[in-house]
Structures are given as structure tokens and as C-alpha cells.
Amino acid sequence: MKNLTPVIFSMDKNLNIWHGDEPSWLKERLLLFSLTGSRAYGTNRPDSDYDYKGIAISPKEYYFGLKSFDSYHSSEGTDPNITIYDLKKFFNLALSANPSIIELLYMNPFHYAVLEPPAKLLVENRKLFLSKKCYKSFVGYANSQLHRIKTREGKPNHGKGDTKRLERIKRYGYETKNALHLVRILKMGIEALETGSITVDRTGIDAKELVEILYGKYKIDELIEYSEDLFERAEKALLKTSLPDSPDFKAVDLLLQAITKACLE
């Protein structure tokens, strides 16, 4: 793993979108900060919220003292919605091919608001994290969306009272936002298995179809039948994929060490 120049952190990352409840050091120690959610997928409506995720490196004393940092999540219902992961936490989640985590390494370059040299190195080595584990994680996420469609359950932290969600269920007979994510995540998982890469920004690919799904393109039986075809495609892609059974943990560990060293020197 090549050596990195020690990172010099500055205070130019305020971005004017923070809520004031984050750790005082967090903004200046961002390594990566990106637009995410529907606006990154190309499926947003004009009134869609803004979502951001990022990776930060804790101050040196957090590595040698009693303090610890795992992640930061802005309060529920805030706009923008911001989530920041500790560097090591991000690596561990990415190794399991968590769809909402690993996508940070495959964003449209224009959606990165912060991309420090260590994060650029991370993005350059993103294929280290892709493996056959993508099948289990992406299909598992899709199954959770399908379950919510069939049972009309909301997200665990959203409950059953979200107004827009209830309006969609009343109008279309099921939560079409779950259907959008069901199809999106299956297609991205198939792409990962077939090509060894992921396209997060679906503009010009299937974003138009995904938006049409949100607005009730399919009746629920049609949607379930469509998803069954995609689940079958994913299974076939797993059998043919050239991805390794699991990530190269040694290479990933060396990458984490190089980035951490550069950030703490």
C-alpha cells in the first residue's frame, strides 16, 4: 500500500448545512462527504429531502484515551438528514457489503462535497470490498422492502404514521416507495455481481422507471411478479459472478492502516 502524505485538516468544510448537535471536531475531520438518497439516485421529487453521508477520522486522543466515536446521526425529521461514520466503523460495514454503506464508494463524482486524498485512495480501491457477499446483503435488503410492501409496515423508526406513506398506500394499495427501493437495490446488486461495479446515480439507466414505480406504475401483484424475476436474475448472477467469495481482508486492513496513519500523523 502506497504511503500517504499526512492530512492537514482545516475548517473550510462547514457547508452551512449542519444542525449544531454534532461533535465540535467532526466537520473539520471529514474525509468524505456526499449527497445520498433520492437526489443521488436521480429519483427525487422537487420537494424531496436532502440526505448526506460521510466518513470522518476521530482525533488522536480517541485512539489512545477513553473517548470513542462510532457514528453521528442528525435528529429524526431534520432536513438535511446527515449521517457520519467513523473510518474504522465504515470499513467494517463495507466489508459486509452493506448496500447503504458501500454505495458511498460508487457515487457520481459530482455528488462528493468533500473527498480528501485518503478518501480518494479509498474510492480507488473500492473493488476490494466487493465479493459474493453482495448477493446476501442486497437481496436481504430487497426482501425487507418486499416484506414491508406485503405487510404495509413502515421503517422501524418511522412507524406507521408517516403522512406521505399513508397517502401512497391509500392511493396505490401499497407503499410504492418501498417498491422503488426494492427494484433499485435488486438491479444494483445484479450489476455488482455481473460487472464488479455499482452505479448509484441511476440517471439515464432506470431512474425514470423507478420514479414511475413510485407513482404506481405496477399493481401490487405485478410488482411482486416483477421482483420475482429480479430475484431470479440475482441468483443466476451469483452463480456466474467473477467476484471472490469474500473480500481480501489483508489488503483492506493495510488500506485502513495507511489511511489512519496519514490522518493521525
Q: Give start and end residues of each alpha helix (H) in 152-175.
A: 163-172
Q: Give start and end residues of each alpha helix (H) in 8-86.
A: 38-41, 61-64
Of 230, 227, 235, 247, residue with least CA distance to 193: 235
pLDDT at 76: 85
The parent domain of residue 209 ranges over 133-240
Both 139 and 233 in a single domain? yes
pTM: 0.91
Cα–Cα distance between 17 and 53 in angstroms, integer? Answer: 12
**Number of domains the chain is built from:** 2
Both 38 and 100 in a single domain? yes
Both 75 and 143 in a single domain? no
Both 231 and 251 in a single domain? no
We report the CATH number of the domain holding residue 71 as 3.30.460
Tens digit of each residue's pLDDT, the chain (265 residues): 556 666 665 545 557 788 899 999 999 999 999 999 999 999 998 889 999 999 999 999 998 889 999 999 999 888 999 999 999 999 999 999 999 999 999 999 999 999 999 999 999 999 999 999 999 999 999 999 999 999 887 665 444 557 888 999 999 999 999 999 999 999 999 999 999 999 999 999 999 999 999 999 999 999 999 999 999 999 999 999 999 999 999 999 999 999 999 999 8
Q: In this structure, are residues 224 and 145 in contact, taking their beta carbons and an 8 Å threshold?
A: no
- Within a domain: residue 21? no
Both 40 and 137 in a single domain? no
Both 199 and 181 in a single domain? yes
Cα–Cα distance between 108 and 96 in angstroms, integer? Answer: 22
